[in-house]
């Protein structure tokens, strides 16, 4: 089954404790991206990657890091989480410029205390 898989789905952590949210897709997509969803703000792009070893900032990259060492994986790293990073995070992928349609994971709800 074609899918985007994120882990963990739910996480409660404390300020400053590094964490990683993993994302993996099995559709051989070139393009991957992270969004955060906040009430009343819709979804905003954090980072994106057009291919292996190619990443760039989206609209709200502060406090986040990413890496793309393999085509299928695109982890999101919070080096020192803060309460304003409490949010619902979505990983998404697509074939890139050939198709702008994004396929989304089921989301990771992060709470930073």
Partner 1 sequence: AQSVTQLGSHVSVSEGALVLLRCNYSSSVPPYLFWYVQYPNQGLQLLLKYTTGATLVKGINGFEAEFKKSETSFHLTKPSAHMSDAAEYFCAVSDQTGANSKLTFGKGITLSVRP
Say which residue the tokens 């969803």 belong to: 37
Contact flag: residue 12 with partner 1 (CB under 8 A): no
Coil, strand, or helix at residue 83? helix
Q: DSSP code of 2?
A: -
Both tokens assigned to 111? 């709470």
Contact flag: residue 56 with partner 1 (CB under 8 A): yes
Shortest distance (Å) from residue 70 CB to partner 1: 19
Q: Which is nearer to partner 1, 38 or 79 (CB)?
A: 38
Contact flag: residue 74 with partner 1 (CB under 8 A): no
Contact flag: residue 40 with partner 1 (CB under 8 A): yes
Q: Which is nearer to partner 1, 1 or 101 (CB)?
A: 101
Among 1, 62, 69, 100, interactor with partner 1 by CB under 8 A: 100
| CA–CA distance, 110 with 95 (Å, rounded to integer) | 28
Dihedral over alpha carbons 56, 61, 63, 64 (to 10 degrees):
-50
């Amino acid at each position: 089954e074609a899918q985007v898989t994120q882990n963990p789905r739910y996480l409660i952590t404390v300020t400053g404790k590094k964490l990683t949210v993993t994302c993996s897709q099995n559709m051989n997509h070139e393009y991957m991206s992270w969004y955060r969803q906040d009430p009343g703000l819709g979804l905003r792009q954090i980072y994106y990657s057009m291919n292996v070893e190619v990443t760039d900032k989206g609209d709200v990259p502060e406090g986040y890091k990413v890496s793309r060492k393999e085509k299928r994986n695109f982890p999101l790293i919070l080096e020192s989480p803060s309460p304003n990073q409490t949010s619902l995070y979505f990983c998404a992928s697509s074939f890139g410029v050939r198709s702008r349609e994004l396929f989304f994971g089921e989301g990771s709800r992060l709470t930073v205390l």
